[in-house]
Every structure is written in C-alpha cells, then in structure tokens.
Structure 1
Amino acid sequence: MATRTASLTVLLPAAGAEIQLLPAGVFRSADGSGRPAGVAGWKLDALTAARVIQAAAARETPLVIDYEHQTLHAEKNGQPAPAAGWFHGSGLQWREGRGLYATDVEWTARARNMIGDREYRYLSPVIDWDDKTGDILALRMAALTNNPGLDGMTAVALSALFHHPSEEENSVNEMLKKLLAALGLPEDASEETAVSAVAELKSKADKAGEAQTAKAELAALKASVATAAGATPDPAKYVPVETMQELQTQVAALTARMTEGEVADVVEGALAAGKLLPAQKEWAESLGKSNLAALKGYIATAPQVAALKGMQSQGKQHGGNADQSTDADLAVMKALGLSAEEFAKGKKE
C-alpha cells in the first residue's frame, strides 16, 4: 500500500466557526485534473473518518488553514506562509451522510474580512490517501483558495463568527442539552433524531398506560363478580342472573384482549430474537392463546434461528423424511410434555 497526498477544494461562500472539510462517500476532483488516478475516487465513511479524527486529535498543536497552500510551497519560493485560521483535531466531527467537519475554527481578522468580501470563496483540505483503495488516511491542513477542486459542500454563515448567545439563548441551549441527555442522545444529535426519540418514548408511555388501565378494569370486574357470587341473596339488593352473565362476559372479553396482546408481544419478541421462525408464527400464536405458559416455556428453551439455518429453509427441511422431527419440534414436545406420536397427531389435526 502506498500513501499519496492531495489537496482538494471545498466551496466556502462565507466564513464561520464551523466548516465542512470533506464530503461523505466516494468523490473525485471537479477541477478537470482526473484525480485521483487509479481508483474510483477518494473514499470517506464513518470508519475511515474515525481513524482520521483519532490521528488528528492526537496532535497537541492545532491544524493550520493558510492561503493558497503557501505552507507547502514556502521552502521552495521563500515567501511567508501566514495563517488564515486554526482548528483542533479534537474538534473534528463525522456527520453521517454529510461528511467531515471542523468545529470551533479560529479565523484571523484578515481572513474574516477577505472571506466576507468574497476575496476568498473556497477551502482546500490537504489529505493523505491510499492509492490502492482510495481510502482517506489523514488530514494534514487546509487552505483558502480560489481554484476549486470540489463543489456542493455546505456553506458557512458569516454571522456565526460574530454572534454571541444571549442569556436566554444560553438557558434554552442548556435545557436542550439536558433533554437530549435524558433521552440518551449526544449533544450534537440532529433534530430528526431527537424528535424520533421523543415519539418512541411517548408511544411506550401510551402502551404502558393502556396496559395499566386494562389491568385496573379487570381487577374491578373480577372483584364485582366475586362479590356478587359470594354474597347472601338479599331481595332488596338482588343481582339478576343477566347482570352476572354480563359481568362474566366482560371479564372474559377483557382477559382475552390482554392475553392476545401479551401473546403478540411474546411472539414478536421471539421472532426478533431469532427464537422463532416466521413459519412458526401462526402455530405460536395459537399455542399462546390456549396455553401462554407453555409458549413461554418453549421460547425459553428454543435454539436460535441461526442454529437451524443449515437444516431449514422457510420452515421446511432440506430433503429427508417429511415426518422426521426437527430440533424445533423436539423443543415443543419437551415444553408441552408430549410424546412423538401425540405431537405428530396434533400437527396433522
């Protein structure tokens, strides 16, 4: 593997405290040079970006942003190489689907003015890359330039350089950070991620509330039935048979509803965990409705689907006797205490 160095160019329409250094995915130079040669393009994904960030964060000194890559040319042309800005490796961030970003960029006053006046409009990062795979290996520095090599990058707002959050904004930001932390999300989580987490939390709370309400209703109905059934008949407080039957019907219906919900949760969980094959879903639901404890016992001892893949395909065995018991059948017989003959008879019925 050989390592090569390339300087690219990113559109920088205005200055800001945050800049996009490289895009995500596979990309090539747009300046007509045909770079990179020998590979489909430069590649940057979450894994390669993590290595780049780790290497940059290990540096004690910040990375420089100069003008026209003069830092690379100073030894040959003897000209000064003043900095336009600085950024720290620890401030690099990977953003899925967007690319590699530098945050907390420290621009010089001269660079801010030149970018604001559109005297410079592009950013050109300098990278090391693998000439066999195109993987980006390291970020060395960056430069302001007007000779673009890449386009379509995220613009940076000039106002971000001079904006100082008010006390009210700081208070709101702190509150948002606490909310994100309570949701188990990082401070830089996207709005879409945060909203999705809140929706999921609300859904869980709603389901928990519905289950609690159903349990309370069931307990109340059972208590009513027990009271009516055990009380000494009193002509003044006589409970008609029709009323008793209605209460019993309600209890049965509510119990069935709760059992169906629990069976569905158990079956879906077992499918997701690989404890049931999709072809077993209907059988498992039927078993759960008649004997939920037996279903739970079977799932607890059932092998993972991965262990059955070599023997089964869409719930059927590869060749052999169709009546021969599978590992899943044996686990069911064990959970239900059935003999092979009883189990085979039940399957046929």
Structure 2
Amino acid sequence: MQVPAAGWIKDFVLKDDGFYRAVDWTKRAAEYLENKEYRYISPVINIRKEDRKVMELHSAALTNTLAIDTMEAIANSDKPGLDEVSSEESEDGSGSTLAALAKLLQLDPSTTMEDTCKAVSALLEERDSMQLKAGACQFEIVKMKADSIVTEALKEGKLMAWQHDTAFAQALNDPDGFARWLKTAPQVVPMGKLDYGPLPASPRPRSRAHELMGLSAEDIKKYGNI
C-alpha cells in the first residue's frame, strides 16, 4: 500500500492561540482539501516517557479520524484565509517566531532552532557575567568611598586609631549615613602641635672639680663656670 506525501511543512508560525503551519501541498492533496475530503491534520509527536512531555513533531497526516479531541478542523474552518496568511508569513519570515528571533540576534535567517537556542543561552551567560563584573566594580567604588570617609575622620580627629575597623565597616554599610555623622561629630583627638609654653632653664650641672673646690650651684650661677 502506497502512502504518498500530501505536502511538506515549510515553517511554523507562533500566534497567541497556538502554532500554525505553512504547508506546501501536493496537487492531489490540494484537490482533496478543496473538495473537503479530509477534515483534520493529525500530528505524530514523540513524547518523553518520564514526564509525557512533547519532544518533537515527527510528521502530520490528513485524516477524518482524529486522535486529539481539541484539534480544529481545517475543512469548514471558521478562520477564512488561514492558509494564505500563513504562507505569506512564511515567505518573508516576519510572522515566524524563530525567524524574528534569529533577526533580533543578528543570525542567519536559516538558523536552526538548536543554534538559535545556543545563541540565546550564550547571551544569557554573557549577561550574568556582566552583572557580576558590574557588581564587583560597584563594590570597589563603595570601598574606596568608605576608606576616604574614614581617613578624613581620622585626619580631623573625630576617630581614634583603634576605631578604624569598626568605622570602616559602618561606612561600607552606609557611606552616606557615615558622612552625615562626620559633619556633626565632635573632635575627640587633639590635632596639630601642642604648645606647652617656654621650658624652664635647667641649672648648670656641677662637675667633680666644683665639688672638690666647694662651689655650690648658686656660686656657679653667680660667678660663672670654671
């Protein structure tokens, strides 16, 4: 028994209410459809055993006995012009989700679904990598700002040296809040040169000769050193 092909599926078009196919019908099949001799297109799909998930469309056949209850009839369709619209969309690729995605990714219009998915995956990986780099750069900027604020606080005498690590952690967590605190914080460490006034003159030391001669410190001061 011969089972000739009725046509060839050229493209799929994704719309809001489902997948539509653009089919290049054979002359005989086109006559069958024109005469409404077949009502349905019955898809043959491969399903994964573990979760019953549809993995691929193997083929499709014209039939009057449908295995899927929710399929709509192609004969007496309430959507006139469906086949014509689908064909036009498949010709220029504007209605094809895959073609539109390939165009968006700047891929060749003939790129397969697998290669398109790989391109999308690569873009997602690149996005994640860029986000990590951006986060690292942002953290370095915050660290530099926190270090600058704490250094300024130390220079102004508003922090003691042993408070550096705690202050840095606070500035890292809330740099703006720490900067506001710095503006109103009192000085707790004296800064600059301390002025103690003139130093008292120290008495001239007595030597061994002075002791042997019986000269006191007052004598040395009064008469000078010998």
TM-score (norm 1): 0.25
Structure index of larger Rg: 2
> TM-score if structure 2 supplies the norm length?
0.36
